[in-house]
Amino acid sequence: MATSEIFFGPFKVTTQVFYKTRLSMAIVNIKPILPGHVLVCPLRVVARYKDMTNEEVVDHALAVQKVAKVIERVYGTTGATVAIQDGASAGQSVPHVHTHIIPRKLNDFPSIDDVYTHLESSEGNVGKFFEYQRQRKIVEEQKKELVVESMNRPGRSMEEMEEETRMLTAEMEKEETKRSSL
């Protein structure tokens, strides 16, 4: 789908982009909490929500709405947790604004709010996972420390993410075709 390199913070995610507007993108998640857990981000790497332009905020919100609708349909869910962790103190692990869209079903966690515990845990720390991936060949000691933290919910392979990207790209295109025919 993408023709030029696209980044999520410092990480290249070009092949994980399944929806793109002029100012926003939606990407599959390397460590989804539940099936269908995706991220919507501004194309411009901007760390905090308050630093987005008005135009970016509007485009981002509309992209979140469109993506959430398709994700719920595709994954057969009845709701979604839509969350932004704005800044490191709020649990943001990659310094690039991103909205989590997590499709939800009744009783998918013992408590409805358990999803937030997963977002804040080391299991959901994508930044640390990517750092591990980048450094594992270089620094053996860091590898040991980070492997223990990432074992509970290992990241998916590039092939798995690209397969989901292709499927969701097709589903987003179907939605756009359906909307334009109304």
The residue from 37, 60, 96, 98 that is catalytic is 98
Count of structural domains, the chain: 1
Question: Does any domain span residue 44?
Answer: yes
Half-sphere exposure (Cβ direction) of 110: Cα atoms closer than 13 Å: 2
Average pLDDT over residues 74-89: 95
- The per-residue pLDDT for range 115-149, each reduced to its tens digit, is 888 887 755 555 544 444 444 443 344 433 333 33
65 is in an annotated binding site: no
Domain span at 26 = 7-168
Question: Does any domain span residue 135?
Answer: yes
Whether the Cβ atoms of residue 31 and residue 60 lie closer than 8 Å to each other: no
Those residues whose C-beta lies under 8 Å from the C-beta of residue 123, and which sit 6 or more positions away, are 31, 33, 150, 152, 153
Question: Does any domain span residue 1?
Answer: no
Annotated active-site residue 98? The verdict is: yes
- pTM beyond 0.85, yes or no: no
Question: Does any domain span residue 68?
Answer: yes
At residue 12 the predicted structure's pLDDT band, cuts being 50, 70 and 90, is: very high
Measured distance CA(80)–CA(182) in Å, rounded: 25
- The per-residue pLDDT for range 20-61, each reduced to its tens digit, is 999 999 999 999 999 999 999 999 999 999 999 999 999 999
Q: What is the pLDDT of residue 175?
A: 92
Question: Does any domain span residue 2?
Answer: no
CATH code of residue 33: 3.30.428.10
54 is in an annotated binding site: no
16 is in an annotated binding site: no
DSSP state of 121: S
29 is in an annotated binding site: yes
